Amino acid sequence: MAGKKTQRRRRKGTARKKRRRGERSWLPKLIGAGLIAGALIVLGTYAYFSRDLPSVATLRDYRPPQTTRVYDRHGKVLGEIFTERRTVIPMSQVPRNVVLSVLAAEDADFYEHEGLDYYGILRAVGRDIMEGRAAQGGSTITQQVVKLMLLTPERTISRKLRELILARRLENELTKDEILHLYLNNVNFGHGRYGVQEAARYYFEKNASELTLAEATLLAGIPQAPSRLSPRRNLEAARRRQRYVLAQLEDKREVYWPDLSKEAIAAARDAKVEPVPLSEGSGAAPEVLTIARRVLRDAAGEEALGAGGYKVHTSIDLSLQRKARAALQRGLSAIDARQGYVGPIRKKRRRGPKATPPTESLRMGRTYFARVTGVDAEDEQIRLDVAGHGAILSMRDAARHNPERLDAKRFAKKGDLFPVSIAQFGSEEDPAVARLERGPEGAVVVIDPRTRAVLAMIGGFAARSGFNRASQAIRQPGSTFKPVVYARAIQSRKFTAASLVVDAPAVYDEWKPRNYEQWNYQGAVRLRQALARSINMVAIRVVEDVGVQDVAQFARQNGITTKLEEDMALALGASGVRPIELTNAYATFAAGGRWAPTRLVTRIVAPDGAEIPLTPQEPSRDVMDPSEAYIMTSMLRSVVTEGTGMPAQRLERPVVGKTGTSNEARDAWFIGYSPSVVAGVWVGFDDQRSLGKRETGTRTALPIWIEVMGAADQSPSDTDFAMPSGVIRTRIDPSSGLLAYPGQEDAIDEVFLSGTAPVEVARPPDVADPNLFMMEQFDEEGESASSDGAKLPREERVLGGMAAP
């Protein structure tokens, strides 16, 4: 019995052992199967997320877009052209304190790991799982390079897995220094600045190689959150981040960078660095940047604009550019004050403009009279109905016409009218953005007549890109065109500065031109006087004698490219011209008769240092002899000494010029020059409205010109115009234009081209003219008459425009 029990126990024990051995034999298999499954999952995941990944090898030849800089004549930055603001520099130009600061801020173990921080990854994955999304960082510099340059910025777990795969590949493809070089030249430092060189220039106006440790640690803290940690936006937050970077430098100094002394770190901690004020060149010359962009595209191709890295040198003087715009702004603001161009238009009874009728669509470049529909006091915006379309006007953009700095609620009321243009089209969700056009606009051009370098170019009141009135506006020049007429007359030898021409009413094919002072006709006047006093009828008679086509051709030779109507109204500047072209035509007089195209871009240097040839310009040409040009300059001098330009005398230096006012005072001009500088000023509304009562070239444009010339001409004040050969100076009788009689007390000096001076001597007043007796014997058929039939005394008769011999 006992034996049987013993056997049963043995059998049960043997069975249990077999079961345990069976269980132990399955455990390794199960673990092995799990490992294989895990490996397959990892491999599958790796294979899945490795699909269509970009090649890290492309980063060896990566050429990111860089910033193209535009410089003035003195090497100051006028502005930048870019898709991304970036200037790539080699590692040799990155100082060690910048490298250490970036490593301390972003990845102290960078030179130790193989692209991944596994502890950081586990920490990030844990938080990602808790959040259900990619919410935590944990990226090494290598991973950040991948994210910046190879992947999209989306925050998803799948994108993170691709980032890990590419980070390991990148470490196998590039050296640590090459990866760090990519990071330092591509990371965002805020305000659209990419790379450490752009950051150094923007925040401290120096190169990266010149950064101190204090400056480097302040910059190194920015990439974590460029908007929040920008020292320009939040200096205190930036300094807190800087203190963290300095603490990291100190904590890890002995392990990673023992060459960095504690004293240097302490000194950086004590230094209170902050960004320098923004450069004065920022936004000063948008007109120049637009032209520089076009010239760069023409010279180097469209791809040059995207690639960037070029240096475009111009003839602009940044200081003068700023002063010229300030002068224009003061001049236009003075007109605003005189004419009441402030606030909205409130109709008085039935007078005044009406709202623009509804149109199917809005367009830029047109002025609309918009009605106020409401005011948004919180956002400081005015809601408008612009020809049936909704628009908003920001109070910030209305500052020029809001001298009392009223808020939106007090500035405008429902039903008020504003003249506006469209700055930005609207959409179904957002209204259009309007720009206030309450006051007039203007343009200023300053040229060196010897080189035709453009020293300043102002296209409007505000420094913003868009319509450049200096080079694009086509406006009636009024009397500023008369010097072109008289220059051709002098050149033709039909006229001299002393020629007598009749100032009297006349009719030409039902057109009855008038002088500005319609009641005042002066009879026969010398050509010099006619120019100084801006007498219209004399200019018309000169064109009639010289020939309209002849004058138009001369204007084209002088660089006027706009269409000139070949009729008698050309004499009064009825055909539109561009301000820069007419100003350059005056530069021909100042340069002794030689026309040349204006030059603004002087040199383009490619990123590799090679100079890019500029597109050839039209060749220079002689339009007048130096002697002819000098006669014209001398006549224009009388405009300043005794005519419409007399206020220019307060410059207290030899200057010449001409005023101009078009019909109904739609345009006001003054163009003039000294021996070394030519300047032109135009003022008017873009939509051809009248500037207002009593606004003329003398009152409106000349004060601006005087201020601009005072800033532009730094030559000695006694520098005068040199008289060339081929010109003679002689004394004449001011009444007849003939040679002065001996002892004549009121005789004046006059200049003539050689061979054109009068040879007849004027008679003293006490000597009778024998021709008078004969004239009295003639009947009416034999008497001389003006073009409208008026009888004229002998001294007013003109033969070919010159005093009768």
Comparing CA positions, the residue from 624, 589, 634 lying closest to residue 497 is: 634
In which element (H, E) is residue 420 found?
A: strand 417-424
- Whole-angstrom Cα distance, residue 672 to residue 707? 13
- Whole-angstrom Cα distance, residue 159 to residue 143? 11
Residue 83: alpha-carbon gap to chain centroid: 17
386: alpha, beta or left, given left = phi > 0 and alpha = psi -120 to 50? beta
How large is the angle between the packed helices 213-220 and 196-204, nearest 10 degrees? 110
What's the 3-state SS for 561-619?
CCCCCCCHHHHHCCCCECHHHHHHHHHHHHCCCEECCCECEEEEECCCCCEECCCCCCC
DSSP assigned state of 624? S
Tokens of 531: 């120019």
Residue 218: alpha-carbon gap to chain centroid: 32
In which element (H, E) is residue 728 found?
A: strand 727-732
Which of the residues 230, 421, 479, 492 is marked catalytic?
Answer: 479
- Whole-angstrom Cα distance, residue 207 to residue 200? 6
CB 401 within 8 A of CB 435: no
CB atoms within 10 A of CB 25: 9
CB 145 within 8 A of CB 179: yes
Q: Output the CA–CA distances (angstroms, integers) from residue 99 to 112, 220, 479, 730, in the order listed.
A: 15, 9, 65, 78
Catalytic annotation present for 642:
no
CB atoms within 10 A of CB 226: 18
Comparing CA positions, the residue from 576, 285, 611 lying closest to residue 444 is: 285
- Whole-angstrom Cα distance, residue 427 to residue 559? 43
Which residues lie below 8 Å from residue 132, measured CB to CB, with a gap of 6+? none
Residue keyed to tokens 């005056």: 586
Which residues lie below 8 Å from residue 271, measured CB to CB, with a gap of 6+? 212, 214
In which element (H, E) is residue 148 found?
A: helix 141-149
Q: Output the CA–CA distances (angstroms, integers) from residue 756 to 169, 495, 623, 722, 738, in the order listed.
A: 88, 8, 20, 20, 12
- Whole-angstrom Cα distance, residue 412 to residue 54? 57
Bridge partner list, 799? 802
Bridge partner list, 314? 601
Residue burial 611-620, b: 16+ Cβ < 10 Å; e: rest? ebebeeeeee
Residue keyed to tokens 């050509």: 527
Residue keyed to tokens 């320009």: 232
- Whole-angstrom Cα distance, residue 606 to residue 614? 12
Catalytic annotation present for 750:
no
Which of the residues 106, 163, 171, 287 is marked catalytic?
Answer: 106
Catalytic positions, written as ranges = 106, 479
